[in-house]
Structure 1
Amino acid sequence: MKKFVLPVITTLLLVSCNKIEEKIDQTVQKTTEKVQQKTQQVVEESVKRAVDESVNSLTNSKNATLNEVFPGTATSIISEEKGKKIKIPGRPEGYIFKYKADIAVLLPFLENQPTSDESKSDKKARKIDGQNIIDKISLASKFLPENTFDTSFLEDIKNDKNIEYYKLKRFPNSSTIIYNPKNQTIIQYVEVNK
């Protein structure tokens, strides 16, 4: 009888351990799924809140001129100027301008702007690859409601290989410049780090 009882008890213990392990696995899986769902929900809510704040910032943005950011801007070097002061959550104060200008005249003007910290400033504007800029604008435009702003320029910069991109930091201002040599249109984003 002892020979029979020991294997039965061992078998029962083994089956019980397997059931306990199975129950633990199910509990862990359910908990993992709940955590993933909650995390996804929190991320979606955060993105929606940030997008709503950005949209409100864009729709409530104030008109601005290049002269506000770069005092002494000669009106003779730019034309057809449009500008907005915007606030993007988590970013410093910003301005976006669209105007026409000769890049050969504009860049030296911007490079000669006074700076509050020469060690944090560029001496010259540097030409950059625009793919990163295109990607950021494309991503942002996906979250914006239709008719928030005109995204037709996005198609132009995606498809036109002649578009030029520049970066220039003259602390506290940091400029990203998109230049279309065909029509001398410039789109400039200026971030003001105070």
Structure 2
Amino acid sequence: MASEVASHYDRIVKRNAEANGETYYGDMEEYKISYKDKDTSSFRLFWKYAPMFRVMELQDMYRTMSVYLMLFIFIALICFAAVFVIAYTRCITVAMYNRQMYADLKYLGAGRTYLYNCAKSQILKVFKMPVLIGTSLTFALYFFIMFGNDGGLTAGELAGVRSCVLVIIAITLVIWGFYRSVLRKVCKMLGI
């Protein structure tokens, strides 16, 4: 049909290409738009005669962004659950493998403070570097994406960076609370 035209279609370029004996790229099948695909995102994005209503565009943008946000939150929760399971398993494994060593140290006269500091040092190694690397790389990536957009930070981007810092602080506090509970569990297992 005459209105099944992509937004990049240019009649002048087509006429010049045909005059030179070349095939216009807009006539190739992969660049054509068809009403059969009217429910696809490529049709909505690239149809030349698509009506533009600001209210509908904003609602569509909000709906799309909310889907992306829910998907991101879902994936983030799965990743954090995996991190907690792996860290917990690793800490309990360290405690079980070193149970005899702590019993020997206790038998040789090591104090509770020394044993607690040894267990704390071992458990902290499981949490410290992953948290530091993960949070600093996340912040650096977000900051450089915002800065790289236009070579500066607008007020909205600064608000986004502040929000990123607050989220990182909240996540770090949650991980710290988890670390403290795992440390208590390990100390209980070791009899410290």
TM-score by length of 1: 0.32
Return the structure number with greater strand share. Answer: 1
Return the structure number with greater helix share. Answer: 2
TM-score by length of 2: 0.33
